[in-house]
Amino acid sequence: MSQSLIGVKRVELSNRQEQIIQIVKDNGPITGENIADQLNLTRATLRPDLAILTMAGYLDARPRVGYFFTGKTGSELFTERLKKFKVDEYQSRPIVIEEDVSVYDAICAMFLEDVGTLFVTNKNSMLVGVLSRKDLLRACIGNQDLTSVPVHIIMTRMPNITVCEPEDLLLDAAQKLIEKQIDGLPVVNPSEEGMEVVGRLTKTNITKALVELARDQHL
Ligand code: ADP
């Protein structure tokens, strides 16, 4: 995870930071020196607060002019930050099985790993399919011997797999989940050999991102 992004996301405004915002709202544009004077503090003491407020989008700074209030509303800042989230900051560990594993063993893996979607790879560890809960339930309805049916018979297969990449925007991945009406996406690194699975992005990851963002919103 990118530490700098976490820093920007998790903004808990201190009393002093609230005071700074008020001073800038009332007097901006105003230099850091003048803000410090009003608070009876030194410019150096205020530097971290000003950096946080600028990074978080509350204040903007222009050289030789000073700080001014951006006037952005809570929902504007919320959207701005949400649009910066990348898939690799929120993805989970992928649970991967090989294509000749039996349906029975896939069901065991799903329970043991406590996931709703399994990714299926070939001998070269490249993505070839996806298995959802309902895919496995459907396979159980027949009278087949589940230990002798390999998952490649029942999985959704390439090229019909919807994927995302670590650097993709979380919002774009969320859009794919909605459009395709699926619960999760494999996060992949494409190469000439195929797609290496490096993560799993689910509706739960997106819910977590939203809750984190909403809880850290202070305006
Ligand atoms: P469930 O079937 O348990 O409700 P999903 O809605 O995720 O779970 O899956 C619906 C169907 O879409 C299943 O047949 C599954 O194999 C397929 N599927 C799931 N994820 C993907 C994906 N990323 N790309 C393509 N197909 C998928």
Q: For the segment 23-42, what is each residue's pLDDT rounded down to a tens digit?
A: 999 998 999 999 999 999 99
The amino acid at residue 24 is V
| 219 within domain boundaries | no
Q: Is residue 149 part of a domain?
A: yes
Angle 15-27/43-55 helices, nearest 10 degrees? 80
User: Using one digit for the tens of pLDDT, what is the confidence trace for 177-191?
Assistant: 999 999 999 999 999
This prediction has a pTM of 0.76
Same domain for 103 and 60: no
Q: Is the pLDDT of residue 73 over 90?
A: no
The C-alpha atoms of residue 147 and residue 48 are separated, in whole angstroms, by 61
Query: Which atom of ligand 1 has the smallest separation from the CA of 116?
Result: 3
If one counts the domains in the chain, the total is 2
- The rounded Å distance from CA 83 to ligand 1 centre is 26
Do 46 and 123 sit in the same domain of this protein?
Answer: no
Summarised one tens digit per residue, pLDDT across range 124-149 is: 999 999 999 999 999 999 767 999 99
Q: Which residues, other chains included, contact 158 with Cβ-Cβ below 8 Å and sequence gap of 6+? A: 127, 128, 129
d(CA 218, CA 74): 8
| First-to-final CA distance of the chain | 26
Q: 214 pLDDT band (50/70/90 cuts)?
A: confident
> Per the domain annotation, does 119 fall within a domain?
yes
Distance of CA 6 from the midpoint of ligand 1 (Å): 31
pLDDT of residue 2: 38
Contacts of 12 (CB under 8 A, 6+ apart): 216, 218
Q: How far is the CA of 86 from the centre of ligand 1 (A)?
A: 22
Q: Is residue 130 in contact with ligand 1, taking CB distance under 6 Å?
A: yes
